[in-house]
């Protein structure tokens, strides 16, 4: 049982097979909901919402636990921002470590984060991992993670960023995923895809994974808060005469995570892998690729979608295929008017490698209403 918010012919066959494999797990509740940006992932498809009773698949959450978006609407003068884009970009790139980089200096807001008090309760910990986690709180990461400045249709300036739980989330996730696979082998459980290995609710491993998962989700949430604070400070110095910038609207939402929720009258574990919670009235963020459009949305609480919506445009092709198919000239043409990297290192993030965001939005009018339509004017990639 699968409910999908996309034309079937536009979903790759391998992704359909993944959805079928997931839906056939014995503990899946009701059906699997596939969002309009659905595409092939590892184990479970990206853009899927999986409600379960009594079990969780660590690989269905993925290795970037708590990955998500944060957006802030500001009252900044868009003309001052547009006139200073290169300087703003360089300032942000100095303030926030990109790619695999970490902070050289630990700020008070990082060391004072209340989440550190729960560190010793994690399943897999050591001094080196803690030092890495502390140094990366307030860092962007690579891949499709980004920091953007955008204008809406009436020229309000928005700050938007996309990141997750960095190396600590990946380390915790990989260890639990491997343990789940080992348990399936020991129990002689045969799966259509070994990446769908799971923990059952009564097991010690389930409790350990859920504890680590929730901690990593908090870390990811705080990581976005830390970065947003730095970006806002950079903007204040660059275009607001060093005055603190009011936040007219603020959204911070996961799109790779697990939450306990009630659906169809029952309490279930909801795994969203590349999907945003969209209960009635919930604010969410659906970004397009750099050079395209993005949207701030308000949820409609569609029960068949387990109160969810897409987390972006969704990839149309793999990173390798994008690198083979497109050139630096293509990238420059497709990002005209955007202050961003335009080199071979980010060709895999070219807009043409992603689905058409307008089509994605058209396919989920029963899931969300659009609050604001944004256009990027600056994009910083890891």
Give me the long-range contacts of 280-285 (CB less than 8 A, separation at least 24): 280/307, 282/307, 283/249, 283/251, 283/253, 283/371, 284/251, 284/253, 284/309, 284/368, 285/69, 285/70, 285/71, 285/160, 285/251, 285/253
Q: What are phi and psi of 302, to 5 degrees?
A: -70, 115
Give 323: exposed, middle or buried? Use CB within 10 Å, 0-12, 13-18, 19+. middle
- Asked about 311 being catalytic, the answer comes back as yes
Catalytic residue among 39, 145, 255, 311: 311
Return the active site residues: 311
């Amino acid at each position: 049982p699968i409910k999908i918010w996309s034309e079937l012919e536009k979903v790759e066959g391998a992704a359909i097979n993944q959805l079928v494999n997931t839906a056939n797990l014995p503990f899946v509740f009701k059906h699997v909901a596939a969002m309009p940006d659905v595409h092939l992932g590892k184990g479970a498809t990206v853009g899927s919402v999986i409600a379960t009773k009594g079990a969780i698949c660590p690989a269905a959450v993925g290795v970037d636990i708590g990955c998500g978006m944060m957006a802030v609407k500001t009252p900044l003068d868009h003309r001052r921002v547009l006139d200073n884009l290169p300087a703003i970009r360089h300032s942000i790139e100095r303030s926030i470590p990109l790619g695999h980089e970490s902070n050289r200096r630990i700020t008070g807001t990082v060391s004072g984060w209340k989440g550190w008090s729960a560190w010793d309760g994690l399943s897999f910990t050591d001094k080196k991992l803690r030092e890495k986690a502390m140094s990366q709180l307030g860092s962007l990461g690579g891949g499709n993670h980004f920091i953007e400045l955008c204008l809406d249709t009436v020229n309000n300036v928005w700050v938007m960023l996309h990141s997750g739980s960095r190396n600590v989330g990946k380390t915790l996730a990989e260890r639990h995923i491997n343990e789940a696979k080992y348990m399936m082998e020991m129990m002689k459980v045969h799966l259509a895809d070994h990446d769908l290995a799971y923990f059952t609710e009564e097991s010690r491993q389930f409790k350990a994974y859920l504890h680590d998962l929730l901690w990593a989700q908090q870390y990811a949430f705080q990581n976005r808060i830390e970065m947003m604070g730095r970006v806002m400070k950079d903007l204040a110095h660059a275009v607001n005469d060093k005055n603190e910038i009011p936040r007219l609207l603020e959204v911070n939402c996961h799109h790779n995570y697990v939450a306990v929720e009630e659906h169809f009258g029952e309490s279930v574990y909801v795994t969203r892998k590349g999907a945003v919670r969209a209960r009635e009235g919930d604010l969410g963020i659906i970004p397009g690729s750099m050079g395209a459009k993005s949207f701030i949305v308000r949820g409609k609480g569609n029960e068949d979608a387990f109160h969810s919506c897409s987390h972006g445009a969704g990839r149309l092709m793999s990173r390798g295929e994008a690198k083979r198919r497109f050139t630096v000239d293509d990238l420059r043409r497709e990002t005209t008017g955007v202050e961003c990297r335009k080199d071979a290192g980010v060709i895999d993030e070219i807009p043409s490698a992603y689905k058409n965001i307008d089509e994605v939005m058209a396919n989920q009018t029963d899931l969300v209403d659009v609050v604001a339509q944004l256009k990027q004017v600056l994009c910083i990639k890891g």
